[in-house]
Amino acid sequence: MSDTILVLIKSNPLESHRPVEAIRIALGLISGEHSVTVILLNQAPLLLSRDTEDLIDGDILQKYLPTFKELGQIFLVEETAFRTHLSEGSDYTIQAASVDKIADRVQQADRFFIF
C-alpha cells in the first residue's frame, strides 16, 4: 500500500533555497508510487509565478517545474497567499484551499515534509 505524503512549503523563496529544494524532493516522491500533496503557504506560491528570476535558485526551479505540469500535479495554495501571489495567474494546476481544508489534508497524511 502506498503512503500519503504531504510536502508543506512555507519558507520564503526570496530569502532561502529551501523552497526550491522542497520542490525537488516533492518531484522525486511524486515519481514513485505515493500519493503526494504539495501545499504552499505564505510566500511559497511565488515558486509558481511566471517570474521566478528574483527567487533564490530560480534557475534550478525551472528544471523541475515542467515535470509537475506533465504529471498533472495539483498544488494547494492557502487562499490568502493565492490572492496575494498568484493574482496574475500561473502555468500550473493550482487550487486555492482554506485553512480548514489544509488542516484536513495534514490529518490524512501518513508522512510529512515541512520546509
CATH number at residue 91: 3.40.1260.10
Cα separation, 55 vs 14, in Å, equals 5
Q: How far is CA 30 from CA 14, 27, 52, 95, 99, in A?
A: 25, 5, 22, 18, 23
Q: What are phi and psi of 19, to 5 degrees?
A: -60, -40
- pLDDT tens digits along 95-104: 999 999 999 9
Number of domains in the chain: 1
Print the domain residue range for 16. 4-114
| More confident site: 50 or 55 | 55
pLDDT, residue 89, reads 64
In terms of residues, how long is the chain? 115
Which residue, chain included where needed, has cell 525537488?
Answer: 24
